[in-house]
């Protein structure tokens, strides 16, 4: 396989012994598209393997194959998978070795029930036909047989994303975000029957808004993070919205026509893009909690919502730079909240932008030591208060909002 050391294939074939072993997923898809498959976070070569039998048994045999350097291992017993980081022929490779399994979702978007199964059944549980192609290991030199029970090669030629069965989207709504990622990266469109499934399922809205459901929380957040950090996100989000996918977060966001501008400004202000996307929801804090965003992002959104409400509901805004500085540097207000107000177009743009670019960086025109000598002040709170007053006076003398 191009880009991978031949010694790796020999080692895997030896470790497989008589177990049926296959390369699956994105590596096969990208090989057929003449692309190199790498881990989206670390940039390392990445392979997904499925074995009929036991992943842990295969990994144990692989440990004893000469020429394989062991750099790390993590076992996920509930799903029969083992993550490996190996060094072979001087190249670091990530392997995800899984026991072939079938899945059943007792609750839409819930955790699946899994059990051991055949390789064909394992392919049937995947997201899209283009990711349900397997290359079976038939010799030490690599894969010799292509297994494509769902027409993945046909859909690669058509450049279409097709769900594998009628409940694919219902079972895991994060698959729609993944489709937007693939669509933007590969230039693929959604197959008509799959798009009908999306429209129908979104209309039914079968997912209880339970924060504990991974399909509506961690998996959805992870897919959105990958989309925003590793894909051409303007194209990916446009696809997602065109399919109705923003409804997974919020109806207000689905109707939002300003998200692109908001995220562009968030980039300029070095703000997290997912938080900026969520800021367009009717209740950003509720959505942030449901998505299990990091606490720092939730705090930033709380401060943004509070500042936005204050700016929007105010009968009159401050007039002088010192008044704006007092407001924007007051209790509960953060620089991130100001940046998000700028990104979302909340409040008067000119003073907020001037504070962000200039006023907040302005120090008092005199140091504390110089002040105490000049005004015979003793160390204490009075010094800080006097420095703030001098800074405010300097800002009003030097700056103008006109």
Residue-wise pLDDT tens digits, 295-305: 999 999 999 99
Which tops the pLDDT comparison, 303 or 114? 303
pLDDT of residue 401: 57
- The share of the chain scoring above pLDDT 70, in percent, equals 94
pLDDT of residue 142: 46
Provide mean pLDDT across the span 49-62. 89
Helices H / strands E in the chain, number of each: 20, 11
Strand partners, 143: 137
Lowest mean pLDDT among 140-154, 176-190, 226-240: 140-154
Provide mean pLDDT across the span 318-338. 93
pLDDT of residue 215: 58
Residue-wise pLDDT tens digits, 263-279: 999 999 999 999 999 99
CA angle, 281 then 285 then 290, to 5°:
90
Provide mean pLDDT across the span 87-97. 87
Residue 318, exposed/middle/buried by CB under 10 A (0-12, 13-18, 19+)? middle
pLDDT of residue 144: 56
Asked if pLDDT for residue 21 goes beyond 70, the answer is yes
Do 231 and 185 form a contact (C-beta atoms < 8 A)? yes
Q: Could you tell me the two tokens for 237?
A: 């989000």
Strand partners, 351: none
Asked if pLDDT for residue 399 goes beyond 80, the answer is no
The C-alpha atoms of residue 329 and residue 317 are separated, in whole angstroms, by 15
The secondary structure element, H or E, covering residue 236 is: helix 233-242
What contacts 24+ positions apart, CB below 8 Å, involve 322-330? 322/391, 322/392, 322/393, 322/395, 322/396, 324/351, 324/352, 324/354, 324/355, 324/359, 325/355, 325/359, 325/360, 325/391, 325/392, 325/395, 326/392, 328/352, 328/355, 328/360, 329/360
Residue-wise pLDDT tens digits, 333-359: 999 999 999 999 999 999 999 999 999
What is the residue whose two structure tokens read 């190249």? 91
In whole angstroms, what separates CA 159 from the centre of its chain? 24
The secondary structure element, H or E, covering residue 75 is: strand 68-76
Do 192 and 160 form a contact (C-beta atoms < 8 A)? no
For the entire predicted model, the pTM comes to 0.87
pLDDT of residue 138: 64
The C-alpha atoms of residue 211 and residue 213 are separated, in whole angstroms, by 6
Which tops the pLDDT comparison, 140 or 123? 123
Residue-wise pLDDT tens digits, 195-230: 999 999 999 988 876 545 555 688 899 999 999 999
Count of all residues that appear for the chain in the document? 402
Torsion of CA 211, 212, 213, 214, to 10 degrees: 100
Confidence class for position 2, pLDDT limits 50, 70, 90: low
pLDDT of residue 309: 93
pLDDT of residue 295: 96
Residue-wise pLDDT tens digits, 352-395: 999 999 999 999 888 888 878 888 788 888 888 888 888 889 89
Three-state helix/strand/coil letters over 78-102: HHCEEEEEEEECCEEEEEEEEECEE
pLDDT of residue 77: 65
Provide mean pLDDT across the span 271-296. 95
pLDDT of residue 260: 97
Confidence class for position 141, pLDDT limits 50, 70, 90: very low
Backbone angles phi, psi at 73, to 5 degrees: -155, 140
Confidence class for position 143, pLDDT limits 50, 70, 90: very low
pLDDT of residue 374: 81
Provide mean pLDDT across the span 97-103. 89
Among 231, 256, 226, which Cα is nearest to 241's?
256
What is the residue whose two structure tokens read 């955790």? 111
Residue 34 makes CB contacts below 8 A (sequence gap 6+) with none
Backbone angles phi, psi at 50, to 5 degrees: -125, 135
Residue 106 makes CB contacts below 8 A (sequence gap 6+) with 113
Q: Sign of the CA dihedral 109, 113, 114, 117?
A: negative
Q: What integer best gives the mean pLDDT of the chain?
A: 89
At 312 the three-state DSSP class reads helix
pLDDT of residue 38: 81
């Amino acid at each position: 396989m191009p880009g991978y050391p031949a010694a790796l294939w020999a080692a895997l074939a030896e470790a497989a012994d008589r177990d049926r072993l296959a390369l699956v997923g994105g590596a096969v898809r990208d090989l057929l598209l003449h692309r190199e498959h790498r881990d989206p976070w670390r940039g390392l070569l990445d392979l997904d393997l499925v074995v009929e039998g036991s992943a842990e048994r295969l990994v144990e045999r692989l440990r004893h194959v000469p020429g394989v350097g062991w750099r790390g291992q993590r076992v996920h017993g509930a799903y029969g998978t083992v993550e490996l980081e190996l060094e072979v022929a001087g190249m670091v490779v990530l392997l995800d070795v899984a026991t072939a399994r079938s899945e059943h979702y007792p609750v839409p978007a819930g955790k699946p029930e899994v059990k051991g199964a055949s390789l064909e059944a394992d392919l049937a549980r995947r997201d899209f036909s283009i990711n349900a192609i397997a290359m079976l290991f038939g010799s030490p030199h690599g894969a010799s047989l292509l297994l494509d029970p769902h027409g993945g090669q046909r859909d690669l030629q058509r450049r279409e994303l097709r769900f594998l069965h009628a409940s694919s989207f219902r079972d895991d709504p994060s698959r729609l975000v993944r489709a937007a990622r693939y669509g933007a990266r590969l230039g693929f469109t959604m197959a008509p029957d799959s798009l009908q499934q999306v429209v129908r399922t979104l209309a039914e809205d079968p997912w209880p808004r339970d924060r504990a459901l991974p399909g509506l929380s961690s998996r959805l957040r992870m897919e959105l993070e990958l989309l925003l950090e590793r894909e051409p996100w303007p194209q990916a989000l446009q696809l997602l919205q065109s399919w109705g996918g923003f409804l997974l977060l919020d109806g207000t966001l689905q109707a939002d026509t300003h998200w692109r501008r908001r995220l562009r400004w968030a980039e300029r202000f070095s703000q997290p893009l997912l938080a900026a996307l969520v800021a367009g929801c009717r209740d950003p804090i509720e959505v942030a909690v449901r998505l299990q965003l990091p606490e720092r992002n939730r705090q930033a959104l709380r401060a943004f919502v509070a500042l936005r409400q204050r700016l929007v509901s105010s009968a009159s805004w401050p007039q002088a730079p010192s008044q704006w500085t007092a407001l924007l540097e007051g209790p509960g207000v953060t620089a991130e909240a100001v940046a998000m107000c700028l990104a979302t177009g909340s409040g008067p743009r000119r003073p907020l932008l001037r504070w962000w670019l200039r006023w907040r960086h302005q120090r008092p025109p005199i140091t504390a030591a110089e002040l105490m000598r000049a005004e015979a002040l003793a160390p204490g709170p009075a010094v800080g208060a006097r420095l703030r007053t001098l800074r405010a006076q300097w800002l009003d003398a030097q700056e103008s909002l006109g």
